[in-house]
Amino acid sequence: MEQIKKALNESPAMRWGILLLVGFVLSVNYYFYDAFSTLKDDMRTVFGFTGTDYGLFSAFYSVPNTFLMMAVIGGIILDKIGIRRTGFLFVFFMTIGALLTGYGASDYFNNGGFGYEFMGSFLPRFSPELKVMLLGRFFFGLGAETTIVVVSKILVKWFKGKDLALAFGLKVGFGRLGSFAALRLSPLISNEGTNLSSAIWLGAILVSIGLLAFLVYMLFDAKLDSQIQENTSEKSENKFSFKDITGLISNRAYLYIALLCVTFYSAVFPFIQYAPDFFSDKFGLTSVESGNLTSYLPVGTLIFTPVFGALIDRKGKSASAMIFGAITLLVTHLLFALTNTPPIIPLILLGISFALVPAAMWPTMVKLVDENKIGTAYGLMYSIQNLGLFIFPLLAGTILDATNPGNPAVSDYTATILMFAAVSLIGLIFALLLKYEDKKKHFGVELPLNKK
Ligand SMILES: NCCCC[C@H](N)C(=O)NCC(=O)O
């Protein structure tokens, strides 16, 4: 009798080991994304960046994913040519982008190094360092978003039916760990701007190590593929068709979850990009103190996203969790904008929301689309989300400059935070619509994810 070999993903130790490996790739991704928020003031003093320049730098992450639809193209490529080749390509882009950003911020470049003269020869409104850093942020964003899509597909491949929401929660936790480390380390290393470029280079080096970690993952992925093919003897044909995209968009539940995703994250990630500066301006904290305060947010979600994920695996109620999380986000921004409540209280509320919504939202996708289209589904969702991650940091910077003329050291953030509250309210409406649609069409969004 032919014996069926146990595939690698049948071993719990192997699955959690893989999560650790790809989780590291995510940590460095988030580290570099968040490494700049505590450096906003240092970039103002060292490079003369205005609020709008900073907003533009932050927003450039999303340009390739929104205007070139790179996250959706990355997702399609992923479903077509597979995890290894797509993952390598996009982690590589992410690394190039991080290194380029570091180069733009380096003393060598700013003292007239290679390319300085050329970068100063056009668009004089933008300084040469800002232009190189924007280019770096562009490539970083191009690689980083599809890398997250690739990691999501890796988790579906290894964990489907076996604690998938917990795995997604831990995946988010790894991202938050990177954000936490960035918020703590960046201002310490920068030391009020005296070592600004070292703070940025540390991030670039970490991203490069992430590329090495992905190369190691590729070995395990190849092994699992060979085992799956041995055991099933069937090869999956996976041709892309535009119907995949139209099919997704015409699914109202998918559309609502994508719109909740864009509004929810637009009221969170761009806010975090400004949070340390907001805390120091409103509550008179130093950059290290405000970075430390902001870092409680990722550390809280690091613990609670997997806990909520495990609950959703067993008990379900994903749509209700998203509604509750959206309400909490709205209350958070109203408290920040309109009251002088000690910032730790709204920050705890934000942490609950930021743990609950991602824990429920990402694994819910397996209820709405087939596994062989999951890369396209996540990629499209990320491209839609990136439109928000492009618009809202820019809008925040513009509102901030408009309500605080003269680029002052201390700014009034009330109007900027109220804008985030308005976006949260729209997110809440989409969460309610999702629950309504699920009730009508019986996708099972409220049911547990674990197989009995
Ligand atoms: N790298 C920071 C931005 C990540 C955006 C990403 N598309 C996303 O939504 N991640 C999910 C999360 O909850 O972090």
Measured from the CB, is residue 220 less than 6 Å from ligand 1? no
Number of helices followed by number of strands (H, E) in the chain: 19, 0
Q: Please tell me the distance from the alpha carbon of residue 346 to that of residue 275, in angstroms, as a whole number.
A: 12
Q: Name the closest-CA residue to atom 2, ligand 1.
A: 30
Nearest atom within ligand 1 for CA of residue 358: 13
What are the tens digits of pLDDT across the range 4-14? 567 888 888 99
> Which helix (H) or strand (E) segment is 126 a member of?
none
- Indicate the top mutation candidate among 32, 34, 148, 183 to test ligand 1's pocket, ranked by most ligand atoms within 8 A of CB: 148
Measured from the CB, is residue 36 less than 6 Å from ligand 1? no
How high is the pLDDT of residue 263? 97
What are the tens digits of pLDDT across the range 400-431? 999 999 888 888 999 999 999 999 999 999 99
Measured from the CB, is residue 140 less than 6 Å from ligand 1? no
234 lies in a domain?
Answer: no
Measured from the CB, is residue 144 less than 6 Å from ligand 1? yes
CATH of the domain at 261: 1.20.1250.20
Nearest atom within ligand 1 for CA of residue 382: 7
32 lies in a domain?
Answer: yes
> Which helix (H) or strand (E) segment is 131 a member of?
helix 128-159
Q: Please tell me the distance from the alpha carbon of residue 19 to that of residue 220, in angstroms, as a whole number.
A: 12
Measured from the CB, is residue 377 less than 6 Å from ligand 1? no
Q: Please tell me the distance from the alpha carbon of residue 99 to that of residue 95, in angstroms, as a whole number.
A: 6
Measured from the CB, is residue 265 less than 6 Å from ligand 1? yes
Nearest Cα neighbor of 147 from 272, 22, 57, 245 is 22
C-alpha neighbours within 13 Å on the C-beta side of residue 185: 18
How many domains are there within the chain?
Answer: 1
Measured from the CB, is residue 34 less than 6 Å from ligand 1? no
448 lies in a domain?
Answer: no
Q: Name the closest-CA residue to atom 12, ligand 1.
A: 172
Q: Please tell me the distance from the alpha carbon of residue 176 to that of residue 35, in angstroms, as a whole number.
A: 12
Question: How far does the centroid of ligand 1 lie from the alpha carbon of residue 62, in Å?
Answer: 11
Neighbours of 337 (CB within 10 A): 18
Q: Is the pTM higher than 0.90?
A: no
Question: Which residues, given as ranges, of the chain have pLDDT below 50?
Answer: 1-3, 233-237
1 lies in a domain?
Answer: no
Measured from the CB, is residue 214 less than 6 Å from ligand 1? no
Measured from the CB, is residue 33 less than 6 Å from ligand 1? yes
**Chain position carrying tokens 């904290």:** 285
- Indicate the top mutation candidate among 168, 269, 322, 378 to test ligand 1's pocket, ranked by most ligand atoms within 8 A of CB: 269
Q: Name the closest-CA residue to atom 1, ligand 1.
A: 30
Question: How far does the centroid of ligand 1 lie from the alpha carbon of residue 420, in Å?
Answer: 17
How high is the pLDDT of residue 239? 64
- Indicate the top mutation candidate among 101, 150, 172, 265 to test ligand 1's pocket, ranked by most ligand atoms within 8 A of CB: 265
How high is the pLDDT of residue 451? 63
CA angle 442, 445, 447 (to 5 degrees): 95
What are the tens digits of pLDDT across the range 175-234? 989 999 998 999 999 998 899 999 999 999 999 999 999 999 999 999 998 887 765 544
340 lies in a domain?
Answer: yes
Q: Name the closest-CA residue to atom 13, ligand 1.
A: 358
160 lies in a domain?
Answer: yes
> Which helix (H) or strand (E) segment is 130 a member of?
helix 128-159
129 lies in a domain?
Answer: yes
Q: DSSP letter for 10, please.
A: G
Domain limits at 301? 20-225+239-441
Question: How far does the centroid of ligand 1 lie from the alpha carbon of residue 156, in Å?
Answer: 17
How high is the pLDDT of residue 22? 97
401 lies in a domain?
Answer: yes
